[in-house]
Structure 1
Amino acid sequence: MATEQIYKQFTSRTLLNFFEVAALTDGETNESVAAVCKIAAKDPAIVGVSVRPAFVRFIRQELVKSAPEVAGIKVCAAVNFPEGTGTPDTVSLEAVGALKDGADEIECLIDWRRMNENVADGESRIRLLVSEVKKVVGPKTLKVVLSGGELQGGDIISRAAVAALEGGADFLQTSSGLGATHATMFTVHLISIALREYMVRENERIRVEGINREGAAVRCIGIKIEVGDVHMAETADFLMQMIFENGPRSIVRDKFRVGGGFNLLKELRDCYESWDSVGVSPDTSP
């Protein structure tokens, strides 16, 4: 019979499979980023690490020489950080530079302040920003950071999510990991509803416009839940909510990620590595 220890080990292993660790503070150095990347790349490797664009070249061209295992994780460059006030042109150039340096994915912060000040104008700015950045990102993954904890009200969160989807986002991310409030179940609920309704509208558009060529379908879109440095138990609650809101088929890396800080990554690693099978017998009950 499964014990509490087994459940914890299973949970930590599952979360590690979808985990992205953030190293985005102003105080990051090559040394601190290297330390994060090395733990991220340990077996079982997590999805990747989110860093400022200035560190992408260091990871891809220097760190991999001394720590070749780091080549196996994704490097996501966070652009328009930390304020979210860049123009589409400047943010696109930032993304281009990060991609040339070896970034696998781009994480783009919206102008949440403008969204709070003037929702209609904020929506237009989100659509334009996301569409312009997506042009340079191309087939690679573009995550759009909604900063749900900073947006003032559920309606604004929902409208920001829809605007990002209409601009071409591949992932909707709850928050940046830098604010006072990270993911909440309310934000995840609103984003999930926005995504489901968008998918329904897009499928209907494809049907009405007669786009019936073989393979025509709405693009794959995912949700990244940024939890900061909460503990494993709280993070597991978000995993269960994701399954409840979007179904078990949403729990694949193309549709689901969990973002968090270095302390949470260490907690997940410690829990996973504490597993000791000595004395555990198989369940032979009928």
Structure 2
Amino acid sequence: MELRDAAAMGLACLDLTNLNDDCTEEDVFALCERALTPHGNTAAVCIWPRFVKAARSKLRTTGVRVATVVNFPSGMEAIEGVIDMTRQAVADGADEIDLVVPYPLLMEGQTHQITAATARVKEAAGQARVKTILETGVLGEAELIRAAAEEALEGGADFLKTSTGKVSVNATLQAARILLEAIRDSGDPVGLKPAGGIRTTEDAAAYLDLCAEIMGEDWVSPTTFRIGASGVLSAFLATLDGNAAPTVGSGY
């Protein structure tokens, strides 16, 4: 894919993210402002649950969706608390719930826990989309990543998301390929969200090309593909403006 086309598509499919531990309401308002660009708006902002109401008030008429995280980042919080947080986030105006599934249990050989957690959060979320975070960089082995994907799909996930962005290995093309193949083989209308470590237009283009290879040229849209990132927005805008890419740092 041409870089300018990748930047335009990447921008439209971007979940502009601030999940920093020191995030403030002012930071969230600034994030919401960044989501509204001269080249179009991002798909969503992704923020902590305590900021959903503030983000919704800022973005109400823009078409930018509000996403938040639950069971984050460990995947091992008590399920009743996760359900309560999901319901509160939706009541506050969240359009999308990014759920960290209990992937450590799968690594311990406990099957179907991801399916059960996904199904319960999906029910609690109502009309909100549920993106299941599988933490593929920790799962590591292709067989475990595929098993996690299949369990999340069985539980009714709307998206498969690679990572929290809080571990040493986050989104990779290898993991994304496994998730896309699981989506393709399921036949379900489920999306993909690579997250963490995507910092350049070239990075985004590689994922877009992978989607085209496995799912078809016309598959990618904001309803089927998201990028979880913060710094990559500057790269997209530079590409679209015809400028040199900015220096990027580490982080989500």
Establish whether TM, by shorter chain, passes 0.5.
yes
Q: Distance in 2 between matches of 1:242 and 1:29?
A: 35
Q: Specify every segment of 5 or more residues in structure 2 that has no aligned partner in the other structure, as ranges.
A: 244-252
Structure 1 stretches of 4+ moved >4 Å: none
Equivalent in 185, 192, 215 of residue 173 of structure 2: 185
In structure 1, the residue matched to 2:80 is 89
Which residue of the partner structure matches residue 167 of structure 1? 155
Shift in Å at residue 144 of structure 1? 0.4
| Residue number in structure 2 paired with 1:241 | 210
Q: Which amino acid aligns with 2:91?
A: K
Indicate whether 1:264 and 2:232 are aligned: yes
Deviation track 1:16-63 (CA, whole Å, cap 9, x = no partner) reads 1111111112111112222121111223101011111001011123x4
1:124 and 2:112 matched: yes
Corresponding residue of 1:143 = 131
Equivalent residue number for residue 141 of structure 2: 153
Matched, 1:22 2:10: no
Is 1:116–1:152's contact at 8 Å kept on the other side of the alignment? no
Match of 1:75, SS state, is strand
2:42 is aligned, of 40, 46, 53, to: 46
Q: Residue 3 of structure 2 contacts residue 205 of structure 2 at CA under 8 Å; is this kept in 1?
A: no
What are the residue-to-residue correspondences of 1:58-73 with 2, within 5 Å?
58-61=54-57, 63=58, 71-73=62-64
Mapped partners of 1:51, 1:228: distance in 2: 17
> Aligned partners of 1:180, 1:29: CA distance in 2, in Å?
25
Aligned length: 241
Q: Deviations over 1:239-282 (max 9, x none)?
A: 10111011123212221112212x2112212222347xxxxxxx
In the other structure, the counterpart of 1:111 is 102
Question: Identity rate of aligned residues, in percent?
Answer: 28
Structure whose residues are more often helix by fraction: 1
2:195 paired residue number = 226
Letter in 2 for 1:168: G
Q: Give the CA deviation at 1:173.
A: 0.7
> Which has the higher Rg, Structure 1 or Structure 2?
1
Q: Is the 8 A contact 2:198 2:204 kept in 1?
A: no
1: CA distance between counterparts of 2:34 and 2:239? 14
Question: Which amino acid letter does the alignment assign opposite residue 104 of structure 2?
Answer: R
Q: CA RMSD in A?
A: 1.7
CA separation of 1:36 and 1:228: change in aligned 2, threshold 3 A: farther
Against the structure 1 CA distance between its residues 195 and 154, is the aligned structure 2 distance closer, same or farther, given a 3 Å change threshold? Answer: same
Which ranges in structure 1 are unaligned for 5 or more consecutive residues?
1-6, 200-217, 276-286
Letter of the 1:97 counterpart: Q
Q: Is 1:31 aligned with 2:22?
A: no
When structure 1 is superposed on structure 2, of 157-166 and 223-232 the one drifting more is: 223-232
- Aligned residue for 2:84, secondary structure, equals helix
1:133 has 2:101 as partner: no
Contact 1:22 1:177 in 2 (8 A): no
| AA partner of residue 116 (structure 2) | L
Q: TM-score, normalised by structure 1?
A: 0.79
